[in-house]
Structure 1
Amino acid sequence: MQQDDLETLIWHLESLRKITNTLALKNEEITNFICSLKQSLDNLEMNSNRVQEDLESEFSSLHTVLDELKENMMTRIKQERASRTYELQSQLSSCSKALESSEELLELANQTLCSSETDGFTQVTHHVTMAPAFRLSLKAKASDNMSHLMVDFSQEREMLRGIKFLPVPATPEIQMSECQVCDNTVAISWTLPEPDSKIDHYILEHRRTNHEGPPRIREEYPWMVVEGIREMEHTLTGLRFDTRYMTFRVRACNKAVAGEFSEPVTLETHAFLFKLDSGSAHQNLRVEDLNVEWDSSGGKIQDIRKDKNRTNSPLHSPARTALMSPKRAPTARPGRDRFTAESYTVLADTVIDAGQQYWEVRFDKESKAFAVGVALRSLGRFDQLGKSSASWCIHLNNWLQQSLTAKHNNKARTLDCPIPDRIGVYCNYEEGTLSFYNAKTKQLMHTFRTKFQQPIIPAFMVWNGSFSVQTGLQVPSVVQSGQRKNSGTSSSNASLT
């Protein structure tokens, strides 16, 4: 086959590969969209049933209120009727008795008037004068008019006819240009299409993700909810960025109903993330996640394991295995003999070969010795941090007299600064800058300036003590500004580089 034909074939193969990859990505997008549509159909069915049940519940509640109101008003009418009936019947009975008594007196008086005897005139006159009829009030004690208990529901009827579905709040729009990611905080800002005085609060949801673009149906991380936001902005603080991105969405709520979520917005949350490589740890160091504790009995246990599992093949060397990966080293090595003797060291599982990175470490001040820094992956298994040209560190010594020193290539410089509870480490690989800070106050403790000839890796040492590492941190803005300010000045630490 001629060279031109071969190049043409390669070009066609490469074109076909690109088209195939594009089609595969499109198929994945269509698959995700189909899942989204199916989920929307399920949600539509569920939400329709929910609002129908809510509507029936509201009308049932309204009927209950009307029934209660009707019962109360009917009771009032019955009570009023009973009270007036009693008054009128009592008055009727009194009048009937008075009338009967008057008729008897009239008959007696007529008989007396017709009599020729005058002896009974005085007595009859007295009885007639005291007749009950003279004491009666001929005005009804209760009215038969019940019009004061009549009702007019015309206004309420019009109000009921005006019942309609609540207006759903408009959908907010997140302003990408106003959002900020800095110092492990994220500030989100949004707007509404038009002002709405009935908005009571907003609900913000955020989710970690390693995928750029719209959210997928099957995401590894759940939505986290922030409720009761009164303004059209919110800042999340104290975050740890252990994914490449964060996705945000927001919706507005009035006192009865929530609107639709805004279009999701994905923000990049770049931060240096690594784990401790337990396979690289000295046998006396017990590593659990990002925590390390001195274990004086670890060596005895490891000696037994070494006798059983030891191999002389250089292919099984942890150091050799680590050198085979440019980024992340394996986290399990069979012998765990990466460091030995008095090199009580453990390395991270991720190298630094570009950019600016930052991490922090909290250590036990009562540790007999502690060190934090960086090392080349070629650091010898007997090498202690700072005592060879392959490592740079800050070292705390608590053995005889407490001291804090910067160490490199077996040279040390005593640092005249308080010993902090937590140390922040900043590395600018291209500029060859390695700085150590008081993590709480961000006060600069020491800076190494050098030129890294090969990738470096976070390194730690502890003897008779413990420490914990915090990763997923961005370079603090105060550190960045301080580095820019000092970038043009000469280093006072040149003797250690």
Structure 2
Amino acid sequence: MALTGARVLRCWGAKWLGATAAATRRDISFKLDEKTAHTSLAIFKGETGVKYGMVGLEPTKVALNLERFKEWAVVLGNTAVTSGRHYWEVTVKKSQHFRIGVADVDVPRDCCIGVDDHSWVFTYAHRKWHAMLANERAPITGIGQPEKVGLLLEYEAQRLSLVDVSRTSVVYTLRTKFRGPVVPAFALWDGELLTHSGLDVPEGI
């Protein structure tokens, strides 16, 4: 099942949001952008890891900015992609509920990723994987509880794929339409995620 969705262009740009551009290079390197992180999330390990905390910071103690997610435990990467093939991996530590994928740089900050047509994600919850777009879900089989997974973004081909790192094989591909810059996107409700970027696209995928 392929999920597709239209996108309405908005006026915010990658430069305004502080994201740098990754044009045609194939080794996207990014950090997690603390300015976008919900107050329940802590960024660590040189801005490559994110940890969920049930309590989090009091919103009144966090600097007000339009980039921060207000209601959902989401954080974005700081490098925007406008072309090329890019690959990164995510190590999962003690998390049973998370989402990983990409989002428009101007994705609404009052929604979770995966619930509208501004983001494309793979979600893991209740020991099951799903592809998710605009709140529609498609089940994914052939991959179990993860320790590490990969994401392959092919901008011109309009594809985002979930990769089984242990077998170096594509498990599921979301086919869609990107109409502007996109950034890596993450949401979690327990445990930790650690990102690994600056990687070459593995041979054979």
TM-score by length of 2: 0.81
Deviations along 1:87-135, whole A, 9 cap, x unmatched?
xxxxxxxxxxxxxxxxxxxxxxxxxxxxxxxxxxxxxxxxxxxxxxxxx
Residues in 2 aligned to 1:390 and 1:460: alpha-carbon distance in whole angstroms: 14
Question: Which consecutive aligned stretches of 4+ in structure 1 deviate over 2 angstroms post-superposition?
Answer: none
Q: Map of 1:216-365 to 2, 5 A cutoff? A: 271-288=27-44, 289-300=47-58, 303-306=59-62, 309-310=63-64, 317-318=66-67, 338-341=68-71, 343-364=72-93
Structure with a larger share of its residues in strand: 2
| Letter of the structure 1 residue corresponding to residue 200 of structure 2 | Q
Alignment-mate amino acid for residue 317 of structure 1: L
Whether the 8 Å contact between 2:149 and 2:163 is mirrored in structure 1 is: yes
Give the CA RMSD over aligned residues: 1.7
For the residues of structure 1 that align with 2:29 and 2:143, how far apart are their CA atoms?
Answer: 28
Corresponding residue for residue 139 of structure 2: 414
SS in structure 1 of the partner of residue 35 of structure 2: helix
Residue 200 of structure 2, aligned match among 460, 468, 474: 474
Question: 1:283 Cα shift?
Answer: 0.5
Shift of 1:461: 0.8
Give 1:116-155 correspondences, 5 Å limit. none
Cα distance in 2 between the residues matched to 1:465 and 1:406:
21
Q: Answer 1 or 2: which has greater helix percent.
A: 1
Alpha-carbon deviations, 1:239-277, whole Å to 9, x = none?
A: xxxxxxxxxxxxxxxxxxxxxxxxxxxxxx952111110
Verify the 8 A CA contact 2:26 2:84 in the aligned structure 1: no
CA offset digits 1:278-314 (Å, max 9, x no partner): 11111000001211111123133xx2314xx54xxxx
Look up the SS of the partner of 1:405 in the other structure.
strand
Unaligned runs of 5+ in 2: 1-24
Aligned to 1:392: 120
Gaps of 5+ in 1: 1-268, 311-315, 319-337, 480-497
Shift of 1:362: 0.8
Distance 1:451 1:304, change over 3 A: closer
**TM-score, with structure 1 as normaliser:** 0.35
What amino acid does structure 1 have at the position aligned with 2:198?
G
CA distance in 1, matches of 2:26, 2:187: 27
Whole-angstrom CA distance in 2 between matches of 1:380 and 1:270: 27
SS in structure 1 of the partner of residue 204 of structure 2: helix
Point out which structure has higher relative CO (alpha carbons under 8 A, 6+ apart).
2
**In 1, distance between residues paired with 2:170 and 2:137?**
17
Amino acid in the other structure paired with 2:50 = V
Instruction: Name the % identity.
Output: 29
Shift of 1:351: 0.4
Report whether the alignment pairs 1:381 with 2:109.
yes
Q: 1:377 Cα shift?
A: 1.4
Deviations 1:417-438 (A, max 9, x none): 2223211111111110111111
